[in-house]
Each structure stands twice: as structure tokens, then as C-alpha cells.
Amino acid sequence: KAGVTQTPRYLIKTRGQQVTLSCSPISGHRSVSWYQQTPGQGLQFLFEYFSETQRNKGNFPGRFSGRQFSNSRSEMNVSTLELGDSALYLCASSFFSRTVTEQYFGPGTRLTVT
């Protein structure tokens, strides 16, 4: 199976602009989670979508939003970009067994806000 793909891999934006990141999960996986990774804070959970519905949400401002399409592909949008939004944004698709969620990550999108 192909792995998780994320586009674009690198992005440079200016403060105040908005950005949309895309994620295609592993075929058959219906859950997509998004994380922000920075050196100081580590991996921070943004939100998770399952079958086009947001099922879990982290503690991020409303400028961060997402959606999932019927083919399980997901997009994440950040509006009114701030310098502090510079980070590696990771998408993960999930496999669920009886008691375990296993996440498989894409390579990430490196966002730089200037």
C-alpha cells in the first residue's frame, strides 16, 4: 500500500496570509489526524477527522480548521498566519483494532511564516 502523502512539502508565506495543506491517507484508512510540531512544544494535536466528521479537537485557536472529503483525503487551513505558526505540520492516518489506535505519518509540510 502507498503511504500517507502530504502536499506541499515546503511552503513560505507572509504574516496575515492563509494557507491550505493537503493529506491523502493510506488506502482504507478513514481517520486522519493533524499535528503541529515545533522544537519547543513537540507534537501538538490539532484535530482528527473520521468519515468526514471532526471527532477530536486540540487546543488551537479557530484560525486552524480542517475538513475531510468522502474519499478520506483531508485538508487543513490556517488563516491570518502569524510568525508562531511556523512549524512542521504532520498528518497521520489511523488503523484501529479492538483497543489500539496506530497512526502512520506522512513526511509533513514545513511551513515558514515571514
When binding is defined by CB under 8 A, the residue of 32, 34, 35, 85 that contacts other proteins is 35
With H, G, I as helix, E, B as strand and everything else as coil, classify residue 63.
Answer: coil
With cell 479537537, the residue in question is 57
- Cβ proximity to other proteins: between 45 and 60 the closer is 45
Radius of gyration of the chain (CA): 14
The residue range among 11-19, 62-70, 75-83, 86-94 that interacts with other proteins, by the rule CB under 8 A, is: 86-94
Question: In whole angstroms, what separates CA 95 from the centre of its chain?
Answer: 16
Q: Of how many residues is the chain composed?
A: 114
The residue range among 13-21, 34-42, 68-76, 79-87 that interacts with other proteins, by the rule CB under 8 A, is: 34-42
Rounded distance, CA 56 to CA 111, Å? 23
Residues near other proteins (CB under 8 A): 4, 31, 33, 35, 41-43, 45, 48, 50, 55-56, 90, 92, 94, 96, 99-108, 110
